Amino acid sequence: MAALWDDVVRDEAAVREAAAAAVDAALLEGVLMRTAGEPNASDVVTYAPFTLLPSAVPRALFEQAYAVQQDFNLLVDAISQNKEFLEHTLASTIKVDDFTARLFRIHKQVLEEGLAQSVFLGINRSDYMFDRGLDGTPALKQIEINTIAASFGGLISRTMAVHRRVLQVLGRWEEASRLLPNQPAAGLAEGIATAWQLYGSPSAVVMFLVEEDQRNIFDQRCVESELWSRKIRVIRKRFRDVFEKGSLDAARRLFVDGQEVAVVYYREGYVPQSYNQQNWEARLLLERSRAVKCPDIATQLAGTKKVQQELSRAGVLEQLLPTQPEAVSRLRQTFTGLYSLEQGEEGDRMAAAAIADPDRFVLKPQREGGGNNLYGEELRQVLEKLRDSPERNSYILMDKIKPQPALNYLLRAHSPLHVSQCISELGIFGVYVRQGKELVLNRAAGHLLRTKAVEQADGGVAAGVAVLDTPYLQ
């Protein structure tokens, strides 16, 4: 795999020519972001960072990731409906993690009041790396599943065309023709449109709930465009708009600024920094409504790291998917080692093991969005500090996945062009819609490949670490 583009990487003149063509292709195709200096203005934009060359991905593992995505959709949906499982699994975490606790309190309040929502939409992304085994054979191992604001389905829909152009410039016509089509923006829009239709009010809108700073707006606009083409009206609002202009009628229909909302698509709300008291009140209003939330708060809780760790315990998958033994087998094959750090004999033993050999593990808090995990010496220091503290319950421990590096160029605006040793992360988008107890839609909706330099421990594209990529199957 590492030798795929070795001859190109060593030809400096060809690299410079291809990089110039690549940047123009990215602008032409709309692989765009707003600038850090003007995150809410589109009069000056730049290209989203991406690799110069598509990265090699083992075909069998790529196909395995797609094949298991419908199983992950079923699993997330099952967890979201299992109040007892969520309560039991998160019991220790919510004692020490205020953010998870506040989400869980809203979840309980909505259930006690009685759900007004009858249509449920899940858009998730299951992320993997290709772990290099003792014999060098790569294996598909899950890093996490993102159940809220899973991003870059829009821009990645346009990235393959950029890499195809690069390969054409390099004279690699056959390789260019082998790049796979990939349209997650259309797949995500299909899920939203299905939920909107089942909601049953043709005049109602889809509301994208967005951040105050909207640097990644073009990724969202790709999905919006798909919805507008289906004659579905889209509005963009922030939490403060909901607080100031949102209301429920007697039937708990949601109105924002006078418009009935059929679907709330969260691209915000996954980190504590998203919330002040007004925003928590807005979130409660949304969750109490009849509108289809993507995700509803139970599904957001299903994506927590503590739930991920609990799923690896013997018998838990069988409890959640009792009639799906083949799905259970496929799911379990993707799991890596996941360990509880709760106070007690097991947690003490794992904390001691991680302190003694920190490079073997990743320490994961209950957070999304990239840049939150801890590695190496930092991991050791945090665990030593928390060794006897209940706060340790807010983390889990995971075996560190070790993929095979390969050479590539990471193209970023205003950054010098130089070759890097890189590793990649594959995400598969999943979409499902449930009406009552009936699963109406369940599919894999496309893929996202992100690549970063090996010296970067953690972080996604939005965090400024990884870049967009295209798989080249081998």
SS3 470: coil
DSSP 337-355: -EEE--SSHHHHHHHHHHH
* Alpha carbon 369 to chain centroid, angstroms: 8
Rounded to an integer, what distance in angstroms lies between the CA atom of residue 246 and that of residue 242? 4
Active site residue: 29, 144, 211, 342, which one? 144
Say if CB 248 and CB 255 are below 8 A apart: yes
Query: Based on the number of CB atoms within 10 Å of its own CB, is 229 exposed (0-12), middle (13-18) or buried (19 or more)?
Result: exposed
Neighbours of 96 (CB within 10 A): 17
Residue 267 annotated as catalytic: no
Give the residue among 83, 97, 89 at the shortest CA–CA distance from 366.
97
Q: Tokens for 280? A: 């928590």
Residue 450 annotated as catalytic: yes
Q: Which amino acid is at 419?
A: V
Active site residue: 92, 126, 151, 182, which one? 151
Residue 158 annotated as catalytic: no
Say if CB 192 and CB 228 are below 8 A apart: no
Q: Which amino acid is at 51?
A: T
Q: Tokens for 295? A: 């995700």
CA 118, 307, 76: angle at the middle one, nearest 5? 35
- What are the φ/ψ torsions at residue 237 (nearest 5 degrees)? -135, 155
Bridge partners of residue 293, in order along the sequence: 264
Active site residue: 368, 380, 408, 424, which one? 368
Residue 175 annotated as catalytic: no
Active site residue: 172, 221, 253, 305, which one? 305
- Tell me the longest C-alpha to C-alpha distance in the chain: 68
Give the residue among 197, 204, 236, 223 at the shortest CA–CA distance from 119.
197
Active site residue: 165, 380, 450, 452, which one? 450
Residue 151 annotated as catalytic: yes
Active site residue: 17, 105, 332, 369, which one? 369
Active site residue: 73, 80, 124, 146, which one? 146
Distances (CA, A) of 42 to 37, 45, 94, 149, 217: 11, 6, 40, 22, 9
Rounded to an integer, what distance in angstroms lies between the CA atom of residue 10 and that of residue 6? 6
Residues 6+ apart with CB under 8 A from 413: 46, 47, 49
Residue 144 annotated as catalytic: yes
Rounded to an integer, what distance in angstroms lies between the CA atom of residue 203 and that of residue 211? 25
Active site residue: 125, 141, 237, 380, which one? 125
Residue 368 annotated as catalytic: yes
Residue 428: its H or E element: strand 419-435
Active site residues: 125, 144, 146, 151, 305, 364, 368-369, 450
